C-alpha cells in the first residue's frame, strides 16, 4: 500500500503531533475557515486562473472566481460576514488588481500552474520508507526572458516577511529536488518567492479642512493615493513631494519577487534527509502528544484541543465547529495580527 505525504503534513507533525492527528488522521477542519487562510486560498485560485489564461485558456477568468466567492459571502449570516469584515471581497479585488498592474510586463512564459509532482521517499537502503511517496503541488513554473526556468511560489502575508523568515521555509527545496529528480529534461534553475501583501493599500482619508492626509505612517501606495486624488478632483501639484516619497517607499511594500539560484546539493541533501527522518518518526508515532506553547491560540484546533485537555464536552465542539477535511486541503493556520 502506497502512503503519500506532503510538506504541509510533515510541518504539522513537527509543530504538534496532536495537530497532525486532528488534521491528517481524524481528517477534520473548521467549518468556517479563518479570514487569513481563506483570503490566501481565494488569491491562489485567482492567480492560477490568471496563469492558465496566459497559457491560452480563455475560459480562465480570475474575477469570475472572485464573483463566485462574493455570492457565497452574500449568503452568509450577518454574524458570519462580520468574521471576515465588510471589505473582505473588495480588498481581495484591489490586491489582485494591484498584482496585475505591478507585473503586467514581467515577460514570464508560464509552463505549468498548480502542477502535481510525486517521487519515492524510500530506497533500497531505507526499508522504513519503502512505499512512501512525497507529493507536492507547484504553484508555477515559468521561463524568464533569459531562458531560465524558475519555480515560483506565491506567498500571501499581511506583511512581507524578512529574509530570515523567508529562509526558514524549506518547502521550495523539496519541490526543486522532487521536480528535477523526476524531470531531468526540464530542470529548474532557481526559485522565486512571489509575495502578495493581503492587506490592501489604505485609501487616504479626507481632512476636515479639505484635501487628503499626508501623514508619514499612511499605509498605502502611489496608485491608491493618486486614484483618490483623481476621484476627488484634487490638483496633485501640492502633493508632489509626498507622492514622490510614496512612490519610492511603496515600490516593494505590497508586491515583491525574490529570486534565489538553485540551492546547493549539500543543503538540499540535508533538507531531504531531515524530511525523511521526520516522516519515519511520524509513521512510528503511536500516541500523538500536545506541543503546548504560546502559539497554540493560532491553531484551528485550539478550542477542541483545550476542551479535551480539560475534560469538557469536546463532542459538542467537534460536531458544531468542525467538518470532514477534503483530501487536497492543507492545515490552516491563523496569522496573528502582530506577526
pTM beyond cutoff 0.85 = yes
pLDDT of residue 230: 96
Please report which residue ranges of the chain form alpha helices under DSSP H: 7-15, 17-20, 35-54, 62-74, 78-84, 88-102, 163-166, 171-182, 222-231, 240-249, 265-284, 302-310, 314-321
Q: Is a pLDDT exceeding 90 seen at residue 122?
A: no
Average pLDDT of the chain to the nearest whole number: 91
C-alpha cell at 141: 513554473
The torsion defined by the Cα of 34, 37, 41 and 43, in degrees rounded to 10, comes to 110
pLDDT of residue 212: 96
Q: Is a pLDDT exceeding 80 seen at residue 104?
A: yes
Q: Is a pLDDT exceeding 60 seen at residue 330?
A: no
The torsion defined by the Cα of 273, 10, 49 and 191, in degrees rounded to 10, comes to -30
Domain limits of the chain? 202-251
If pLDDT is split at 50, 70 and 90, which confidence band does 262 have? confident
* Bridging pattern class, strands 190-197 and 255-261: antiparallel
* Bridge partners of residue 167, in order along the sequence: none
The stretch 177-195 carries a mean pLDDT of: 95
**What string of H, E and C letters represents the secondary structure of 213-275?**
CCCCCCCCCHHHHHHHHHHCCCCCHHHHHHHHHHHHHCCCCCEEEEEEECCCHHHHHHHHHHH
What digits encode the pLDDT tens for the residues 68-86?
999 999 888 787 788 888 8
The stretch 37-58 carries a mean pLDDT of: 95
pLDDT of residue 329: 53
If pLDDT is split at 50, 70 and 90, which confidence band does 338 have? very low
CA distances from 141 to 107, 167, 223, 235, 328 (A): 13, 20, 29, 44, 20
pLDDT of residue 1: 66
Q: From CA 52, how far away is CA 108, in angstroms rounded? A: 13
Low-confidence winner among 56-60, 242-246, 261-265, 282-286 (lowest mean pLDDT): 261-265
pLDDT of residue 271: 93
What digits encode the pLDDT tens for the residues 155-177?
999 989 888 777 777 899 999 99
User: In the chain, what percentage of residues exceed pLDDT 90?
Assistant: 76
Amino acid at each position: 500500500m502506497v502512503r503519500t505525504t506532503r510538506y504541509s503534513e510533515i510541518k504539522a507533525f513537527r509543530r504538534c503531533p496532536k495537530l497532525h492527528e486532528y488534521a491528517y488522521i481524524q481528517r477534520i477542519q473548521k467549518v468556517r475557515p479563518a479570514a487569513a487562510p481563506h483570503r490566501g486560498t481565494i488569491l491562489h485560485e485567482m492567480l492560477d486562473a490568471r496563469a492558465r489564461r496566459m497559457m491560452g485558456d480563455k475560459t480562465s477568468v480570475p474575477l469570475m472566481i472572485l464573483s463566485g466567492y462574493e455570492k457565497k459571502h452574500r449568503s452568509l449570516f450577518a454574524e458570519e460576514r462580520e468574521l471576515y469584515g465588510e471589505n473582505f471581497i473588495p480588498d481581495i479585488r484591489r490586491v489582485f488588481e494591484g498584482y496585475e498592474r505591478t507585473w503586467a510586463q514581467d515577460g514570464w512564459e508560464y509552463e505549468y500552474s498548480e502542477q502535481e509532482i510525486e517521487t519515492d521517499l524510500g530506497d533500497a537502503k531505507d526499508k522504513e520508507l519503502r512505499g512512501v511517496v512525497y507529493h507536492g503541488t507547484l504553484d508555477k513554473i515559468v521561463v524568464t526572458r533569459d531562458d531560465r526556468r524558475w519555480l515560483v511560489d506565491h506567498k500571501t502575508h499581511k506583511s512581507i516577511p524578512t529574509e530570515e523568515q523567508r529562509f526558514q521555509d524549506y518547502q521550495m527545496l523539496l519541490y526543486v529536488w522532487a521536480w528535477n529528480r523526476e524531470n531531468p529534461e526540464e530542470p529548474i534553475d532557481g526559485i522565486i518567492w512571489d509575495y502578495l501583501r493581503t492587506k490592501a493599500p489604505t485609501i487616504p482619508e479626507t481632512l476636515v479642512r479639505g484635501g487628503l492626509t499626508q501623514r508619514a505612517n499612511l499605509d498605502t501606495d502611489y496608485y491608491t493615493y493618486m486614484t483618490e486624488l483623481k476621484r476627488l478632483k484634487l490638483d496633485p501639484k501640492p502633493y508632489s513631494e509626498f507622492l514622490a516619497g510614496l512612490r519610492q517607499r511603496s515600490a516593494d511594500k505590497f508586491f515583491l519577487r525574490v529570486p534565489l539560484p538553485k540551492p546547493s546539493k549539500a543543503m538540499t541533501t540535508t533538507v531531504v534527509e531531515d524530511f525523511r527522518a521526520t516522516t519515519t518518526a511520524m509513521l512510528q508515532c503511536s500516541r500523538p502528544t500536545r506541543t503546548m506553547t504560546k502559539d497554540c491560540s493560532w491553531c484551528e484546533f485550539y478550542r477542541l484541543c483545550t476542551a479535551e485537555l480539560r475534560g469538557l464536552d469536546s463532542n459538542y465542539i467537534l460536531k458544531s465547529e468542525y467538518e470532514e477535511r477534503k483530501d487536497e486541503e492543507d492545515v490552516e493556520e491563523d496569522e496573528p495580527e502582530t506577526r
